[in-house]
Structure 1
Amino acid sequence: MNAFRKKLATRLRNRVPRRVRERLIKKVTLRDVDAQETYFNINLTVQNFFNYKVERKLNIHFISGRTRRILNYTINQDRLQIKVPYAILDEMDRRATIELKFNGKRMIIRMNGDEEYQSLSFFSNSRYFNISAQGSIVLSHLLPEYQFEMEQPAKIERLGGTYCILELTLKEKVETECHLAWLYQNKLRILENVSEDPETLKIEDFATLTQGHPKLYLLKGNTLFPVSYSGTPLSMETVRYEIAFIPDRGYLSAEVVTHEIEMTAFETTIEGESINMRFAFNLPVSPETLLIVDTSTDVVTPVPFPTSEKDAEIRLDVPLGALVDTVSRKKLILKTRGTHPLQLQLNASHLKRIGFGGAIQAEYAHEMLKISFYQRRDGLLGFNVAERPLRRQVTEIDDFTMQGYLKGLDAFIDATPYLSFVDRYSLESVRVEIDRLFRVDLKSLDFTQIKSKEKTVIDLFVEIIHSDGTVLRKEKIKFKHSVYKKDTHYGRHEVTDSDGNVHYHLITTTPFNNLKIESFMIPKSVEITDDTEHKDYAIWLLGERYDTAQDNGYAMFNWLKENTDIEAYYVIEDTAEDYKKIETEKNVLAFGSKAHFDIAFRAGVLLGTHDLENLMPYKTAQGFFHYEDTIKIFLQHGVLGRKPVEYHRQYYELPFDLFIVSSEAEKQEVVMETMGYHENEVAVTGLARFDLLPHDNTPRDILLMPTWRDWINTDEAFLESEYYARYHSLIHNSRLNQLLEDYGVYLNFYPHYRAQSYFNNEHLDLRSHIRFIKLGQQTVQDLLIKHALLITDFSSVSFDFTLMNKPVAYYHFDAGRFFRHGSLRPIPETFIGDIAKNEEALIDAIETYIKNGFQPKAHDLSGILTYQDHNNRKRIYDSVMDKVKQRED
């Protein structure tokens, strides 16, 4: 029905003229905020709401946790003004919403499109607040670790500055340590004071600044005082910026701009392995180095100029590899010579009239690349290198045979295409040479020789291999007619090996429609009985991923053994580190063992934290030993709501019978509305592992625990990724390492299991206060309990940390790409803590928490966790038993 309505709405929208549609679309726009003595007004524009002025039809509520207040409002034509008393802000935690309902239906509110209104901030009772529109009006308490004493300015008597040195003389002597803080875009940058004079501030490091218009504050302890100054304006230079200090109504603000030089000409020619560049400028310049900055990773490649002559026209030969070794966009910066070097941004806006020409082809590393110089949106000179597209697809699968096509092979020099089958775990492979149009009989390939274990996944790639053996390109291949289901297949083939074991090979696809082969083996020693359709609902089989026993599955398994008569079994690979810790426990099964097959054939209830493939030694699909007759429980491994996940009901022919969640919001907004499950298929119980979390421990170290990126699928992609570059840079950051050593704090780095082989002691070269934690060395839950601060990016383990009343700092350098498929709930609702988008901002947050003794900020968990007790496992058990009774009846 929903799909039909969407199609109908689309047809009607396409038929109605836009100017008519604009008159019918209901709009509520947040315009601005004005402050009064005891309250502030939120001003909105309302369009196309008929009779919205009728008082009983419009209701406005302030909501923060369990606090709910009715707000007064006034209406004047299309203007709506909401009155918010300052006193009500004292009742909120970190965040509140103001919800508008008209005729019982929620009004969707958007920000005014004017740039100056995108951030609406104000102060109240020494606190700093921001208002934005995200469907509802969102009121956020910003920088809650600081107090703002707006009525007690710090008075500056003298302002002085030279190259990279700023000095401020205070009118009053400061007894405590203080620093200069810059506030802009609702972010705080703290510049360290290196002066030993208590009446003077001296700043020499401006690396954390960014371009903009900050307000200046004096930071003493955790209190910020606005800087009062009415003297002469000052301009100064740093390596990257020109900074103007401007008195503004008695207070000091700044304007930070990058150094730029206008280009009057720019020409390039490719000569062998180099690009010859000719620059002409409106002013003479003495260049020292051309800096090539990768805009996705901030990695800088310097190319020195051969001479030191000062001229308005210069030339430079740039090695082609310096520009094209990574496929990305780059910006070019000119660093000057002398005792006061400057980094000059190359302004190309004057060149718009002559243009840069189109993209050109360049041969590099046996491949034709498309490269181009261009004018960026900010007017600066940019460079882009892109690989020629390799189009590939399987168009038909029939009788375990694939046929498809390749396009774009002319981009490769002296190279041959192959269809490559790679075991996901051992990375062993088998290759088949193919043509532009190919047909491959998979029955002729021996997959058993590359299998790493009895149940495994083999991924399919197209590889372009040069005659010297170099892999020029390796990309996954899709199936044109893919209909993604986790528990189905497009083709099946069975092979009996020389020992009498039967190997099943199934052609399936990933959520991105990439092809793969799932393979499992039934050993000759396993006896398959004739009555596998008879399931025993008193036998429960539990598990997590193949190789772990530290999450909700293991927590639930232990509780069942201690508190019920259920015959509970836990399955895990016997090669896993976690297996060694629990192998002597009762009812622990080695994956793929004879005992595992026996229980898998008979178990009536399956409980897993991931897909049930991790529990079963065979394919979880209809027709495989009556899998369809089991009761399937999804225990989860986190709290949903941040990004779309692949557990949607539509992805299964046999969906979960029960989906465990932690709150009503998660149930209604995510699992039911977004993922398609029905009311009786979702239980609000809380996660099993939450029962084991203490709420009062006080450790001191920091845990760095990032999650994975689903777009990284090869070794080369990982090592060239922004993900690798960012975390490698972070753990080697000199400021961070010095901070840890100064305060005696250790940072323990625990990479995602798929990144462990890349981040390890052999390659990291770690300083004394950063340690690498290997997979299986400690359980995730133990790690969370033993640390005072968690640094992650998007991992749901942050909820465990927050539940223990401990702070979290998020590193969102690639949030746009991570959430490219959207997010299920607004980011402020699920990311409770500091969000840093660059390395320096993250280290600022780490420094703040170290200095304040890792004190958490106030937050409201009611929208994330309905229960904050230790009875989640009992609620899960009761919910599963309800399903058992229904099945038995």
Structure 2
Amino acid sequence: MGMFQKKLRRTFRKTIPRRIRERLIKKLTMHDITVHEEHITVNLSFKNFIRVGLEKRLQVTLTNDQALYELDYHLHGDSIRIQIPYAIIDQTEGRSAIKMMLGRKRLIVRPDTDAYERRRSFFSNHRYFNVSIIRGNLSLANLLPEYRFKTDQPVGLTKLDSRYSQLDFSAEGMDDLTDYELAFLYQSKLRAMDNASGDASILRVTDFSEVITGQPDVYLLKEFELVPVRYTGPPFSMDTLNHEITYSTQDGRLTAEITSHRTDVLAFHSTLEDESVRMHFSIDPTVELAALLVVDTSTEETFRIPIPEQQTGDSVDVSVPLSPLINNISRKRFMLETAGSEPVRLQPDIADLETFGFNERLWVPFHHEKFKIWFYRRRDGLLGFKVTRRRLRRQVTKINDFSFEGYIGGDDAFIDSTPYMTFVDRYSEDFTRIEISSEFTVDLKTVDLIDIKSKDKTIIDVFIEIVHSSGEVLRREKIKYGHSDYRKDNFYDIHEVVDEAGNIHHHLITTTPYNNLKVESFMIPASVDIPEDTSHKDMNIWLLGERYDTAQDNGYALFTWLKENTNIEAYYVIEETAGDYAKIKDVENVLAFGSKRHFDLAFRAGVLLGTHDLENLLPYKTARGFFHYEDTVKVFLQHGVLGRKPVEYDKKYYDLPFDLFIVSSEAEKYDVVMRKMGYEETEVAVTGLARFDHLPHHNATKDILLMPTWRDWISTDEAFLKSRYYARYHSLIHNERLNQLLEENDVHLNFYPHYRAQRYFNEEYLDQGKNIHFIRLGERTVQDLLIEHSLLITDYSSVSFDFTLMNKPVIYYHFDVRQFFRQGRLRPLYQTFIGDMAKTEEDLVDAIEIHIRNGFQPGAGDLSSIFEYQDHNNRKRIYEAVMEKINTIED
């Protein structure tokens, strides 16, 4: 919409009375859906439309990836009913857009005010779908795609007993409920309750902390199959610590209504004291209270403050320290916990109070900083508390002559502190600071970046820091560039510095995917002779590599094959300080990163092949204009099979994208790399990964490998040690039953953590059992570890594909699956996780025991959707695909 139209609309709103606008503005409102035998109907209403010619001009379409369907609709009075056949629904994956066009104008759809209380979900072909509104468009989504709903196979109840925080459940024809959980499904939310029963015929739930408020349907869940429950009895209720749950029947199926415990607050006020807030409130005087709870709404971390026994509900006075209220700078909510053997947590309802809390927003000093705090009435009528800090506004608005111009604001909220621009080496964390003011110009040419460099080629991140006079850093935040145009292989400015030894340091200003500024730096030693003309690239010289510090993946596997089977001049690039370098340094054509020979070959190499970004292969910046990098053939060998978590190798992230992208199957090529990542068909080759050629099939082994991947939301040592990730694996290693099981069967479990977690999981911190061993990074290659073990336990790591290809069993430990895939999945879980799945530690130990008892029987199943080839010719196919690409480019 143009500026004139926006201005006209604002003028219309200001000058035309609301009652008149309501008669003029066209409105299209979605109400609910109706389920029929062969289709569903989306029910909408329209207002202020001219009916004449509407039916001829209106077009409704559904788009899913490349497919486009025209949908039928019917007009009746003020309603529009859109029909979506199941034949179309069953072909959709993910989310589909339903567009309504009136001529050339897109119609904006709005939800009914109580649309969330009406039916918007349905089942088709054992899958769960939902119709919603996203940015004014109707959207059809395949929710929970990894699950299958057996809606045509409900089970009947034979027993249903409830008491405080306990529900016992038995079902017809199901003598063994050991592997089942009770699940609540409400709209797009699914919550599974662990089975705590020691009796196989009874499903017992004692932990209801994860339930969702609302009116969920009740299911039995086993792995990824959900079965509804038949129930025709009378309603009944039970209390848990946090909720009241009422079970009833709807259409002969068991449903629940889950509400939080609430109590009306008759009066509430508070006063600010030194380092605390004193709260005084009145509730039902018959309630005996034990504690006030302060709950962080983002982390659910709970701070408990005991209430003296002599206080009654009608007059409660309690002092709350500022620290739990201000911690995490997040909203807080309050609960009152009752006394007794069956406590409940009451949510204080202040809906009827006109005034409460401070009745204003207060600025309070806390730990050298000023925070704004206030009590507020939440949308649900409950008592909430909010804290905000002054936003540290910061941005670089101009980059010119290798200097930053920009501004900061909000630093006046800090007490006895000074703002700095700080440059931090990403690998060593060495840093240097420049004091700045609210409007700054920082000449980077005056900053000694060479002094903080940890390597000849490194990355220096740029931060704004607020530093207290004591030296404590109160705030450290990255600074963005206002005109960022992020590509992995571009830059905004460059500066060259010659050091005392004659080495040339190139400093380049670049940005991250989040538009944060950084400086990339590389050095050309004085001993290196730079050719006058680097435009001629020798297509027979290939540089291969992985990360700077490894030689155990697809890069090294292809390198050794090329040397033995072709006339290609193949060279492998690795840092001299890497652990793997010592193992291969005497191998012909291994290049120490940044060495004179590496530079000489990098200037001439025509083909670059890497498992990660090609920055790992070249001693200089991989960007247009650097020694004719644009004239090379760029091949992405991959680190693993794609299809689980999104990765950052999309074509849009490069000025000079990969010329060839190696994959393992047609599904990976078309569904992921082409459809999701933007590559053309001729740019993707289905060959299989190079390292797969070294994998034996059906080799006889005995031991277990535990190899979890990393969690990208863990950013500090403190966060790691407090994380569920650390707690779960620490607990598993010390599980008494697991240790006994391993010793009794003479089986060893080798624990090989992700390289970023290695320093937390080792002998210095963990007292392992006799049969559990920690494997340090670099002791053995990952491929050797996979070959030497009979069973792999991982979570989401792509190394599971290697194990599956060897026809060996895998157990996936999925205790945080929803958080891990919070940014989406490339393919449904069931398509890529082939093996057993465990959500709890006990489930995992059970699965391990079964595999030990069964002698680690090989896995089974159709692997064609993951591996197009199951032979040992992947490297040959990669070589042929690269040669074909070279010939195509040269022609």
Residue of structure 1 equivalent to 2:884: 882
Note the alpha carbon deviations across 1:448-471, whole angstroms, 9 max, x for none: 222111111111111111111110
Following superposition, the deviation at residue 538 of structure 1 comes to 0.5
Following superposition, the deviation at residue 875 of structure 1 comes to 3.5
Aligned to 1:704, the other structure's residue is in SS state coil
1:502-581 correspondence runs (5 A)? 502-581=504-583
Paired residue type of 1:181: L
Residue pair 2:425, 2:459 contacting (<8 A) in 1 also:
yes
Structure 2 distance, partners of 1:246, 1:735, is 43
Residue pair 2:704, 2:749 contacting (<8 A) in 1 also:
no
Residue pair 1:308, 1:337 contacting (<8 A) in 2 also:
no
Structure 1 unaligned segments of length 5 or more: list them.
Answer: 1-6
1:130 to 128, 138, 143: 128
Q: Does 1:237 align with 2:239?
A: yes
Paired residue type of 1:403: E
Residue pair 1:641, 1:830 contacting (<8 A) in 2 also:
no
1:708 to 706, 712, 724: 712
Structure 1 distance, partners of 2:660, 2:510, is 25
Structure 1 distance, partners of 2:723, 2:481, is 32
Among all aligned residue pairs of Structure 1 and Structure 2, give the percentage whose two residues are the same amino acid.
Answer: 46
Residue of structure 1 equivalent to 2:267: 265
1:297 to 279, 296, 299: 299
Residue of structure 1 equivalent to 2:584: 582
Structure 2 distance, partners of 1:835, 1:270, is 57
* C-alpha distance 584-81 of structure 1, shift in aligned 2 (>3 A): same
Structure 2 distance, partners of 1:13, 1:790, is 57
1:352-391 correspondence runs (5 A)? 357=359, 359-391=361-393
Following superposition, the deviation at residue 883 of structure 1 comes to 3.0
The alignment's C-alpha RMSD in Å is 5.5
Following superposition, the deviation at residue 375 of structure 1 comes to 3.1
2:617 to 615, 627, 632: 615
1:392 to 391, 394, 402: 394
Q: Which structure is richer in relative contact order (CA contacts within 8 A, separation 6 or more)?
A: 1
Following superposition, the deviation at residue 573 of structure 1 comes to 1.3
Q: Does 1:163 align with 2:161?
A: no
Structure 2 distance, partners of 1:752, 1:110, is 47
* C-alpha distance 691-305 of structure 1, shift in aligned 2 (>3 A): farther
Residue of structure 1 equivalent to 2:816: 811
Q: Does 1:347 align with 2:352?
A: no
Residue of structure 2 equivalent to 1:486: 488
Paired residue type of 1:153: G
Following superposition, the deviation at residue 607 of structure 1 comes to 1.2
Paired residue type of 1:319: P
TM-score for the superposition, normalised by structure 2:
0.77
Q: Does 1:115 align with 2:116?
A: yes
How many equivalent pairs are there? Answer: 841
* C-alpha distance 350-673 of structure 1, shift in aligned 2 (>3 A): same
Residue of structure 2 equivalent to 1:153: 156
Following superposition, the deviation at residue 636 of structure 1 comes to 3.4
User: Which range is displaced more, 406-415 or 443-452?
Assistant: 443-452
Note the alpha carbon deviations across 1:202-236, whole angstroms, 9 max, x for none: 65444454445455677899999876666664433
Structure 2 distance, partners of 1:781, 1:118, is 51
Following superposition, the deviation at residue 278 of structure 1 comes to 1.8
Residue pair 2:290, 2:338 contacting (<8 A) in 1 also:
yes
Q: Does 1:434 align with 2:439?
A: no
1:725 to 723, 726, 731: 723
Residue of structure 2 equivalent to 1:189: 192
* C-alpha distance 178-605 of structure 1, shift in aligned 2 (>3 A): closer
Aligned to 1:312, the other structure's residue is in SS state coil
* C-alpha distance 438-188 of structure 1, shift in aligned 2 (>3 A): closer
Aligned to 2:527, the other structure's residue is in SS state coil
Residue of structure 1 equivalent to 2:593: 591
Paired residue type of 1:279: F
* C-alpha distance 150-308 of structure 1, shift in aligned 2 (>3 A): farther
Residue of structure 2 equivalent to 1:634: 636
Residue pair 2:33, 2:42 contacting (<8 A) in 1 also:
yes
Following superposition, the deviation at residue 423 of structure 1 comes to 0.8
Note the alpha carbon deviations across 1:411-438, whole angstroms, 9 max, x for none: 1100111221111100011112222233
Structure 2 distance, partners of 1:201, 1:641, is 35
Note the alpha carbon deviations across 1:761-794, whole angstroms, 9 max, x for none: 656788999976654455455666758566546x
Structure 2 distance, partners of 1:623, 1:443, is 22
Structure 2 distance, partners of 1:353, 1:337, is 28
Following superposition, the deviation at residue 271 of structure 1 comes to 1.2
Structure 2 distance, partners of 1:409, 1:605, is 50
Following superposition, the deviation at residue 858 of structure 1 comes to 7.8
TM-score for the superposition, normalised by structure 1:
0.77
Aligned to 2:381, the other structure's residue is in SS state coil
Structure 1 distance, partners of 2:376, 2:835, is 32
Following superposition, the deviation at residue 667 of structure 1 comes to 5.6
* C-alpha distance 778-148 of structure 1, shift in aligned 2 (>3 A): farther
User: Which range is displaced more, 212-221 or 464-473?
Assistant: 212-221
User: Which range is displaced more, 577-586 or 417-426?
Assistant: 577-586
Structure 1 distance, partners of 2:25, 2:830, is 34
Structure 2 distance, partners of 1:223, 1:405, is 55
Note the alpha carbon deviations across 1:567-589, whole angstroms, 9 max, x for none: 11111112223334433433222
1:243-262 correspondence runs (5 A)? 243-246=245-248, 253-262=255-264
Structure 1 distance, partners of 2:877, 2:539, is 18
Aligned to 1:534, the other structure's residue is in SS state coil
Following superposition, the deviation at residue 51 of structure 1 comes to 13
User: Which range is displaced more, 438-447 or 603-612?
Assistant: 438-447
Structure 1 distance, partners of 2:483, 2:683, is 30
Following superposition, the deviation at residue 867 of structure 1 comes to 5.8
Aligned to 1:558, the other structure's residue is in SS state helix
Note the alpha carbon deviations across 1:805-858, whole angstroms, 9 max, x for none: 856548345479x53xxx6x776489755999xx99666975886688699898
Residue pair 1:737, 1:767 contacting (<8 A) in 2 also:
no
* C-alpha distance 459-760 of structure 1, shift in aligned 2 (>3 A): farther
Structure 1 distance, partners of 2:343, 2:502, is 74
Following superposition, the deviation at residue 472 of structure 1 comes to 0.5
Following superposition, the deviation at residue 878 of structure 1 comes to 2.4
* C-alpha distance 130-51 of structure 1, shift in aligned 2 (>3 A): farther
